[in-house]
Amino acid sequence: MKPAGLKRKRSNIALSTGRKKRPDYEDSTEDEDDYEIPLAGVMKPDITFFGEDLPATFHDRLVQHDRGLVDLVVIIGTSLKVAPVSEVSGFLPPAVPQLYISREPCQHIDFDIDMLGDCDTVITELCRRAGWDLQHDMIKENGIDVQLEEGYDSRFSFKLKDA
- pLDDT tens string 28-54: 555 556 667 767 666 666 677 777 788
Taking the model in full, what pTM does it have?
A: 0.66
Which residues pair with residue 73 across a beta bridge?
98
Q: Which residue has the higher pLDDT, 7 or 75?
A: 75
Name the average pLDDT for the chain: 80
What gap in Å lies between CA 54 and CA 31, rounded to an integer?
Answer: 39
Q: What are the pLDDT digits (tens) for 100-131?
A: 999 999 999 999 999 999 999 999 999 999 99
- Rounded to 10 degrees, the C-alpha dihedral 115/63/68/72 comes to -10
Give phi and psi for 101, each to the nearest 5.
Answer: -125, 115
Neighbouring CB atoms inside 10 A of 143's CB total: 13
Note the pLDDT of residue 1: 46
